[in-house]
Structure 1
Amino acid sequence: MPSRLNLMFTYGLLVFIWATTPLAIVWSVSDLHPMWALVIRFFIALPLAMTVLLFLKIKFPVHKLALLSYVAGSFSLIGSQIFTYAATAYLSSGLIALMFGLAPIMAGLIGRFGFQQKLAGLQWLGMGTSIVGLAMICLSGSQKHVQPIGIILMLISVFSYSLSIFLVKKINADVQAMAQATGSILFSTIIAVMILPWIWQYAPTHIPSVKSLLALVYTVIMASLIAMFCYFKLVQNLKATTLSLTTVMTPMLAILVGAYLNNEQLSIRVFVGAVIILFGLLLYFYKDLKMYRRLKI
């Protein structure tokens, strides 16, 4: 069992990476077709992950339970990111991060209706508040970076991500975090290969810009390798709802990063909607936050 300090550092690193990854995704598709950017990301990430496994001499189990865990983990990778990359044409990087902020609520609903977990009244109130904020954003008008189809795509993405947390914990394959990350990347890459015939016509015909290439490298190293290692390490040591708390911290940070580095301007109505969503999340996690004051993870 990792120490509390170790888990806190891992948690903080994951928040930073997830706050900056949406902008990296948006930049990576600026000169590439979104699905090609996604496919290339996994094609590069897989050999790197396997190299890390060999270098650190980490065992890579291939028994039935481990394989099931890898498949479940791929739901939080390509299963989720197919829809995230598709949403880049409709939403700003800040709003993409904000939508991922709804992961705790999605996880709560999956836990309630799929795994018979109970929800407190304050949690239901938090859900309702966040839905009001989401509705405000949807009804804010047809801005360039705020379109309803993007919100729908991101809701599917968040559902896939949240479901993955529960499935990996339920399978409980007792696989090391880096092996779990590599296995999930492996199955994600297999799905990426299956996508190729459908996107071949959009294959890159020129070398992407430096910004696009650097953003792609960032998504590979930081989001696909380091973040997934952190993520599965936390999945194995924290409750699903506690892990989902990371997405409460990232949205406003991501919106600020997008505004500063990518000039993403949002209307007052969208900003108010974002604040309402975050307030709903705080209500949802009120009891968890009280527990954190006692330093109990």
Structure 2
Amino acid sequence: MNSNSTPILVTASIYALLVLIWATTPLAIVWSVQEIHPMWVLIIRYFGASIIALFLLKLMRDPLPFDETSLKSYVAGSLNLIGAQLFIYLAANYLTSGLMALIFGFSPLIAGLIGHVILKTHKLVALQWLGMAVAVGGLTFVFADSADSKVNPIGVVLMLISMVSYISSIFWVKQINAPLKPMSQATGSLIVSALGSVLIIPFIWQHFPTALPSGRAMIGFVFTMIMSSIVAMLCYFWLIKRLAASTVSLSNVMTPVIALVLGATLNSEHISSNAFVGIVVVMFGIVMYFWKEWREQHINKVH
């Protein structure tokens, strides 16, 4: 089914679901690690998600090839999962869920910067450079009142490492360009991530969970395992095939705002006045960065 034959309401609903899942994931991570060591939560999440993904793969009758190119692609994809998520889970002990989402909202900007400076795949225009500068300036405002905003430099560094892992994974998977179906790629990457997470066990064995966590922690854990690892992934690949990349990237503007509201309402996360002003400036900077792509997409539709 192509984009023309897909009802706009279906597309809009799937898009809204993806944004909601991405916006809720930081809060779910914060909840899930409150009573159990973050690395144990991550390990159990990936093994659980791998089993669910294998079941769905069998249901969809998609293959799971193990040739050299496919294996490389699974490893590259796992850098987004075990690589990026490992540092997000560690950061959950230092930052509020809203700030985690806000910092990760910078990933498209960093990806554009890497593409321009290192890979030379595309050229950034003046408005995009200005948008980056405005967004960074806004983030400085957010961090200005660290006591109220609960901003910890360690958490910020962990989130930046996570972003680099996430972006590197995208570029690496594209460079390998394995002829894999989205579900096959995701399942293979989840399995590699689950197996890779086993290497962490000797370092955290003493923190092995001995009791079931509270209901809220369980909700956070189940949400990340099913919604964040499986449903969001399927929504994302479905949308990428039917919408322009710039349209999907608009979620990077909406996600942090929703995440901050959810953190404040469901987790009593305080947003200081400096942080609020900074958030608005960051969102404005990200809009400026994407303006060129959105405008070009609109002109192409008109013509």
SS of match in other structure, 1:12: helix
Which residue does the alignment assign to 1:129?
134
Cα distance change on mapping 1:113 and 1:130 into 2, 3 Å: same
1:1-297 equivalences in 2 (<5 Å): 2-3=2-3, 5=6, 9-116=13-120, 117-143=122-148, 145-234=150-239, 243-293=248-298
TM-score of the pair, normalised by structure 1: 0.92
8 Å CA contact 1:180–1:232 kept in 2: the answer is no
What is the percentage of aligned positions where both structures have the same residue? 48
8 Å CA contact 1:169–1:235 kept in 2: the answer is no
TM-score of the pair, normalised by structure 2: 0.90
The one-letter code matched in structure 1 to 2:109 is: I
The one-letter code matched in structure 2 to 1:246 is: S
Q: Structure 2: where are the runs of 5+ without partners? A: none
Cα distance change on mapping 1:239 and 1:192 into 2, 3 Å: farther
* Number of residue equivalences: 296
Q: Structure 1: where are the runs of 5+ without partners? A: none
CA displacement at 1:138 relative to structure 2: 2.6
Cα distance change on mapping 1:2 and 1:160 into 2, 3 Å: farther
In the alignment, the residues of structure 1 paired with residue 296 and residue 16 of structure 2 have an alpha-carbon distance, to the nearest angstrom, of 18
The one-letter code matched in structure 1 to 2:101 is: A
Deviates more, 1:228-237 or 1:199-208: 228-237
In the alignment, the residues of structure 2 paired with residue 249 and residue 169 of structure 1 have an alpha-carbon distance, to the nearest angstrom, of 26
Considering only aligned residues, what root-mean-square deviation do their CA atoms show, in Å? 2.1
CA displacement at 1:295 relative to structure 2: 7.8
CA displacement at 1:266 relative to structure 2: 1.2
CA displacement at 1:146 relative to structure 2: 1.8
CA displacement at 1:293 relative to structure 2: 3.9
CA displacement at 1:224 relative to structure 2: 0.7
Deviates more, 1:165-174 or 1:101-110: 165-174
CA displacement at 1:174 relative to structure 2: 2.2
8 Å CA contact 1:104–1:241 kept in 2: the answer is no
CA displacement at 1:294 relative to structure 2: 5.3
Cα distance change on mapping 1:243 and 1:231 into 2, 3 Å: same
In the alignment, the residues of structure 1 paired with residue 72 and residue 240 of structure 2 have an alpha-carbon distance, to the nearest angstrom, of 15
8 Å CA contact 2:90–2:158 kept in 1: the answer is yes
The one-letter code matched in structure 2 to 1:230 is: C
Cα distance change on mapping 1:84 and 1:285 into 2, 3 Å: same
CA displacement at 1:89 relative to structure 2: 1.1
In the alignment, the residues of structure 1 paired with residue 115 and residue 241 of structure 2 have an alpha-carbon distance, to the nearest angstrom, of 17
Deviates more, 1:180-189 or 1:145-154: 145-154
